[in-house]
């Protein structure tokens, strides 16, 4: 796995994590280019199917980054997202894929450093885990080859 560079998909809430990513940029904090940001209006809009689809399309790790508890602009989108992430973890583990490949993170718009550190930590963790086994699953299979 010497040259393995993971693809990480980060579903980022427009009001917090996406703005924190901007903040990281303006603070000139670097984070790995492995992280591909998908901006969403609220993490409550991220469904399990989006998480699984990201793996199906080649992601090695996925995280959902929402507002801090009690700060969701749509009241409870982040708590809904946390429940869906927990469900996605369970589904992945049922088919033999490490549940640690999916995480729920919360932060505020001003947490540029937290955004950069999270992106770095998750990329490193997935790099150490190796490529997602989903890449080896063919249509009709239920287990990685």
- Residue from 16, 23, 105, 126 touching ligand FES (CB under 6 A): that is 16
Coil, helix or strand at residue 44: helix
Q: Does the footprint of ligand FES cover residue 79 (CB under 6 A)?
A: no
Cβ neighbors of 12 (< 8 A, separation 6 or more) are 18, 20, 21, 37, 38, 39, 40, 65
- Residue from 7, 20, 21, 42 touching ligand FES (CB under 6 A): that is 42
Do 49 and 36 touch, CB atoms closer than 8 A?
A: no
Cα–Cα dist 41/127, whole Å: 29
Stretch that binds ligand FES, among 9-17, 26-34, 51-59, 88-96 (CB under 6 A): 9-17
Cα–Cα dist 84/25, whole Å: 29
Q: Does the footprint of ligand FES cover residue 11 (CB under 6 A)?
A: no
Stretch that binds ligand FES, among 25-33, 55-63, 71-79, 93-101 (CB under 6 A): 71-79
Q: Of 64, 63, 61, whose CA–CA distance to 130 is shortest?
A: 61
- Residue from 50, 73, 125, 135 touching ligand FES (CB under 6 A): that is 73
CB of 87 to ligand FES, least distance (A): 17
- Residue from 78, 118, 123, 132 touching ligand FES (CB under 6 A): that is 78
Coil, helix or strand at residue 22: helix
Judged by the rule CB under 6 A, the positions of this chain that interact with ligand FES are 13, 15-16, 42-44, 66-67, 72-74, 77-78
């Amino acid at each position: 796995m010497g040259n393995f560079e993971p693809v990480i998909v980060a579903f980022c809430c427009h009001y917090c994590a996406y703005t924190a990513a901007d903040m990281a940029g303006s603070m000139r904090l670097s984070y790995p280019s492995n992280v591909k940001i998908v901006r969403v209006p609220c993490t409550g809009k991220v469904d399990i199917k989006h998480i699984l689809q990201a793996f199906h399309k080649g992601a090695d790790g996925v995280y959902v980054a929402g507002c801090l508890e009690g700060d969701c602009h749509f009241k409870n989108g982040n708590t809904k997202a946390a429940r869906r992430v927990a469900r996605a973890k369970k589904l992945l583990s049922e088919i033999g894929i490490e549940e640690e490949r999916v995480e729920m993170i919360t932060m505020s718009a001003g947490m540029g450093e937290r955004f950069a550190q999270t992106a770095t930590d998750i990329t490193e963790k997935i790099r150490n885990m190796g490529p997602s086994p989903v890449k080896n699953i063919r249509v009709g299979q239920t287990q990685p080859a």
